[in-house]
Amino acid sequence: MLLARKTLSRRAPRLRDPERTRQRLLQAASREVYRYGFQSAGLDAILAAANVTKGALYYHFESKEALGHAVIEEVVAKLQRDRWLVPLQQSKDKEPIDALIAVVQAIPARPKDVKGGCPLVNLTQEMSQLDEQFRKRLERIFHAWQEGIAAALRRGQHQGTVRRDLVPEETASLLIAMVEGYEVLAKNAQDVKVWNMGIRNIVGWLSSLRAPSKRRRG
Amino acid sequence: MLLARKTLSRRAPRLRDPERTRQRLLQAASREVYRYGFQSAGLDAILAAANVTKGALYYHFESKEALGHAVIEEVVAKLQRDRWLVPLQQSKDKEPIDALIAVVQAIPARPKDVKGGCPLVNLTQEMSQLDEQFRKRLERIFHAWQEGIAAALRRGQHQGTVRRDLVPEETASLLIAMVEGYEVLAKNAQDVKVWNMGIRNIVGWLSSLRAPSKRRRG
DNA sequence: CCAGCAACATACCGACCAGTATGTACTCTG
DNA sequence: CAGAGTACATACTGGTCGGTATGTTGCTGG
């Protein structure tokens, strides 16, 4: 009786579950924004997809902008962490170059994803110039991304498996540019083949970052 | 008297000059679309910038979409030709790699351009998934771009100045991806320094495409 | 010089859309 | 179990925007 019903069983279907409502809004909004862009995303479409009314939306979020900010911070940022940062940190047994190759190859190549492009790029293209609030939030994600890759490269340099002549941060930015650039090309072509070609070329380039194999530390 | 007044002197200021009106509309539209995206570009803002009324607009263009198509085909495509195709074709005296490096370094690095990003990417990100008419027009530009670079690389391979182990079309696509990718990064950062770093890294990579210098044909 | 079409100009319309005002029902606390 | 505040629901508004209907003027050929 003292504990919140939330932590107990679900016998009563809970007509009110604010956190769940918030999540439904975030998910619906991220899908709509992913597809049409932030400015062209309609609140009514989001509400219909989330099966939620306008009153609920404006209870949880101050404005459309606030909703967009939350999408970036909670949905887009999480996606990036799960696809890049976590795998890179968890594969300390592998050589960093191999880990990077694995991560690149693990980027979803389903038609849906290829045709939609990268959420980060979509939002950056649309909003970075127009809204400083959006820009800053996106920049944080880019920075964490670059730093994650750079850290892996530095580790490889210490190991002796990555060329010492390259600057980790700059090489990381180049990798990101390649990935994003190919996502743009694939999105324009609306064709998975273009993306697969991109992966091949990127992986080939990544291989060229290995230190010449004089001798490696086990 | 028989010749059109157009080809003669300008003593009468010509209140009606349909071709000039059309061009004013195209320029104003391309600026507005470049800044806000196609969907968010307002016709009224375009009309105000062009100092033209709605009646004139809809006399020259069937719809907003038609205006957008014209912007792509006449403004964006021309930009791409002038920056890439023409320079590459005109520098047959130089080695292709040097020509490519020169072209990359000649991409405008003014704050305005960096903050606005690449028109091609902007439009692709926004429209390729939503409108097949836009997509096809953009794809033609990308294809011509890639083909222009690939042709230069092939020429270098025949010369013996470009590595024979790389596939011209794929290498061209990788170069495009790098350029576009860095334009995205620089646009997000809203910082010219990021773009300059990109150029350095791209130029460094381009240098790695040279054939190992055994012996070159003059 | 005038008729007729080309090249505009102006006013207006209906749709859409973010945001709000206000009402209501669920749920937790005491 | 009552009352209060949380978590919604509904109806409406003001503004914007693409598009159109219709009027007007400059230009050109005859």
Confidence at residue A16, expressed as pLDDT on a 0 to 100 scale: 84
Confidence at residue A217, expressed as pLDDT on a 0 to 100 scale: 45
Q: How far is the CA of B137 from the C1' of C5 (A)?
A: 34
Residues B96 and B199 in one domain: yes
Residues B191 and B100 in one domain: yes
Residue with tokens 């926004």: B126
Residues B73 and B154 in one domain: yes
Contact, A54 CB vs strand D, < 7 Å = yes
Q: Which residue is nearest to nucleotide D29 (CA to C1')?
A: B2
Answer whether B122's CB lies under 8 Å from B68's CB: no
Up-side HSE of residue A120: CA atoms within 13 Å toward CB? 31
Least CA distance to A114: which residue of chain B? B129
Q: Can you give the CATH number for the domain in which A36 is found?
A: 1.10.10
Q: Let me know if residue B11 belongs to a domain.
A: no
One DSSP character per residue, B49-79 reads: HHT--HHHHHHH-SSHHHHHHHIIIIIIHHH
Q: Let me know if residue B214 belongs to a domain.
A: no
Given A27, A45, A61, the domain boundary residue is: A61
Residues A90 and A42 in one domain: no
The pLDDT tens digits of the residues spanning B166-181 come to 999 999 999 999 999 9
Q: Sorting pLDDT into bands at 50, 70 and 90, what band is A214?
A: low
Q: Which contiguous run of DSSP H or E holds residue B170?
A: helix B168-189
Residue A8 has pLDDT above 60, yes or no: no
Confidence at residue A123, expressed as pLDDT on a 0 to 100 scale: 98
The count of domains in chain B is 2
Contact A181 B181 (CB under 8 A): yes
Mean per-residue pLDDT, A123-140: 98
Residues B34 and B93 in one domain: no
Contact, A24 CB vs strand D, < 7 Å = no
Contact, B64 CB vs strand D, < 7 Å = yes
Q: Let me know if residue B142 belongs to a domain.
A: yes
Task: Read off the tokens for A161.
Answer: 């498996």
Given A31, A61, A91, the domain boundary residue is: A61
Q: Which of A10-24, A52-66, B67-81 has the least mean pLDDT?
A: A10-24
Mean per-residue pLDDT, B24-32: 98
| Domain carrying residue A151 | 68-207
Confidence at residue B213, expressed as pLDDT on a 0 to 100 scale: 76
Q: Let me know if residue A216 belongs to a domain.
A: no
Query: Among partner residues B171, B189, B198, which is closest to A177 by beta-carbon distance?
Result: B198
**Residue B138: its chain A contacts at CB < 8 A?**
188
Residue A145 has pLDDT above 70, yes or no: yes
Residues A79 and A94 in one domain: yes
Confidence at residue B8, expressed as pLDDT on a 0 to 100 scale: 36
Query: Among partner residues B116, B171, B178, which is closest to A178 by beta-carbon distance?
Result: B178
Residues A126 and A51 in one domain: no
Residues A48 and A77 in one domain: no
Confidence at residue A13, expressed as pLDDT on a 0 to 100 scale: 62
Confidence at residue B11, expressed as pLDDT on a 0 to 100 scale: 40
Helix ranges restricted to H, chain A: 18-36, 43-50, 54-60, 64-70, 77-80, 86-90, 96-106, 111-116, 119-127, 132-159, 168-189, 192-207
Contact B128 A201 (CB under 8 A): no
Q: Alpha-carbon torsion A137, A139, A145, A147, what sign? A: negative
Residues B103 and B40 in one domain: no
Please provide the distance, in angstroms rounded to a whole number, between the alpha carbons at the two ends of chain B.
Answer: 58
Report how far residue B22's alpha carbon sits from residue B38's, in angstroms, rounded to the nearest whole number: 18
Q: Let me know if residue A24 belongs to a domain.
A: yes
Mean per-residue pLDDT, B147-175: 98
Query: Among partner residues A39, A177, A190, which is closest to B39 by beta-carbon distance?
Result: A39
Q: Let me know if residue B9 belongs to a domain.
A: no
Contact B190 A138 (CB under 8 A): no
Q: Let me know if residue A145 belongs to a domain.
A: yes
Residue with tokens 């190919």: A182
Q: Let me know if residue B3 belongs to a domain.
A: no
Q: Can you give the CATH number for the domain in which B106 is found?
A: 1.10.357.10
Residues B70 and B57 in one domain: no
Residues A47 and A80 in one domain: no
Residues A188 and A133 in one domain: yes
Residue B63 has pLDDT above 60, yes or no: yes
3-state secondary structure of A210: strand
Q: Which contiguous run of DSSP H or E holds residue B47?
A: helix B43-50
Contact A190 B121 (CB under 8 A): no
Q: Alpha-carbon torsion B209, B212, B213, B214, what sign? A: negative
